[in-house]
Structure 1
Amino acid sequence: MHIEILVEDSSGTKLIDSLMPQIIGPQGEPHTWRFHTYKGIGHIPKNLDARADPAKRALLNQLPRVLAGHGRTPGTGAVVVVLDNDNRDCKVFLEELKAILARCNPAPRTLFRLAIEEMEAWLLGDRSALLAAYPKAKKDTLNRYVQDSICGTWELLADAIYPGGSAAIRKAGWPLPGQVKHEWAERITPHMNVEHNASHSFGKFRDGLRQLVVAEG
């Protein structure tokens, strides 16, 4: 099966790409995948029939056009859309995403998955991997984290492993937040075991991918 994977930023792409071989096997053996990395999550257009502004490289802004395009493209086995939930109501958000898909004719086989609250929750879900990458991490800070909670997830991770914590990153401003998130994914994922992750949202992502390729087989 060939899978097109839509991710809202480069750190998320790095995280998922590093773990794909553990989840469904090496690239091309037998499954293949390609990433489409966007510049943020954006907003679902109010008018789903309106032509998307190509200058807006946010995932939700482009999603109606992209899903419709994949529905008309031969060779695409499935589309996987991975988004941070942030502080949205999960049920409502998923219904909004499914409504976009329902307007496609034909509609591509699509899996929507949400990271609760942010994809850094998946890194925090593997404490052993995190400590292998950052052995000096502040364990008292990590112990305050309630898995998959709405708590300022990336800020908590920063407070545990980044000199000066999230305050230093915020003070420096863009592009540092994106750079450090990419570095965290790059350093932590090589130590991760996808079979043992405390994040329920990661488990749903992993299992959803595996169900996709098994159903295809």
Structure 2
Amino acid sequence: MHFEILVEAISGKTALEIIVPKIISTKQHTFNIHPYKGIGHIPKGLKSASEAKKRILLDQLPRLVQGYGKKFSQYPPDYPAVLIVICDLDDRCLSAFRRELLDLVNRCNNPKAKTQFCIAIEEGEAWYLGDFAAIKAAYPKAKEAVLNSYTNDSICGTWEKLADAVFSGGAQNLSKQGGQAIGLEKTNWANNIPPLMDVDNNLSPSFCYFRDKLRYLTSQ
């Protein structure tokens, strides 16, 4: 099976390049990961809400679902392909957000890609926080009191929680340095924590959904 995986940012690509081979066999299955420059909004119609070159994920989703559908229709029956879209929940309602995403796919013209949505709750850093051992191995000085105050997949300012645990001066200091510094630090986390993660013992429900979905699809 082949997967085309779309993520909101470069840090997501960095992390998943390491994590996906821990979940499925890359001898039997293949994948590509495409980072975008933010999540954007689900367009009201099937016309993308922004130019493709701006690379805003949800804005481009109708075009992507239909474009990959045409591409996947050329794949041989014994080598199916699936589009996986990974995005952060942020402050949205999970059930309503998932319903909007599925409705968009249903409205797309055929051929459309078989599409699965995996939503990180609240943010991608929740998947790291599902594995305290990996965080502490990557950052031996991580503040255990901060980590222990975290409830898995809670809506709490997830990246800020991780920053408070591992970054000097915490989220407040990192935020003062601006968006570019935040993005760089998120990429550092993506390089440092995933190699040490135990994907079979992660406590993030949204990570487990992603892991189990990949394994289910490859078992078909």
The TM tier, using the shorter chain, reads: over 0.9
Report the more deviating stretch, 53-62 or 64-73.
53-62
Residues 89 and 123 in structure 2, CA contact (< 8 A), matched pair in contact too: yes
TM-score (norm 2): 0.93
Gaps in structure 2 of 5+ consecutive residues: none
* Residue in structure 1 matched with residue 204 of structure 2 by the alignment: 199
Measure the CA separation in 2 of the matches of 1:200 and 1:51: 31
Q: Counterparts in 2 of 1:27-176, with a 5 A limit?
A: 29-49=27-47, 52-73=50-71, 74-75=74-75, 77-104=81-108, 105-176=110-181
Per the TM alignment, residue 176 of structure 1 is displaced from its structure 2 partner at its CA by: 0.6
Residues 43 and 49 in structure 2, CA contact (< 8 A), matched pair in contact too: no
Per the TM alignment, residue 52 of structure 1 is displaced from its structure 2 partner at its CA by: 4.5
Q: How many residues align?
A: 213
Structure 1 pair 103/127, CA: closer, same or farther in 2 (3 Å)?
A: same
Per the TM alignment, residue 49 of structure 1 is displaced from its structure 2 partner at its CA by: 3.2
Measure the CA separation in 2 of the matches of 1:40 and 1:51: 13
Query: After TM superposition, where is structure 1 displaced by more than 3 Å over at least 4 residues in a row?
Result: 49-52
Measure the CA separation in 2 of the matches of 1:43 and 1:161: 31
Gaps in structure 1 of 5+ consecutive residues: none
Per the TM alignment, residue 51 of structure 1 is displaced from its structure 2 partner at its CA by: 7.0
Measure the CA separation in 1 of the matches of 2:15 and 2:106: 29
Residues 49 and 60 in structure 2, CA contact (< 8 A), matched pair in contact too: no
State the Cα deviation string for residues 122-163 of structure 1 (Å, max 9, x = none).
101001111000010011111111110000000010011001
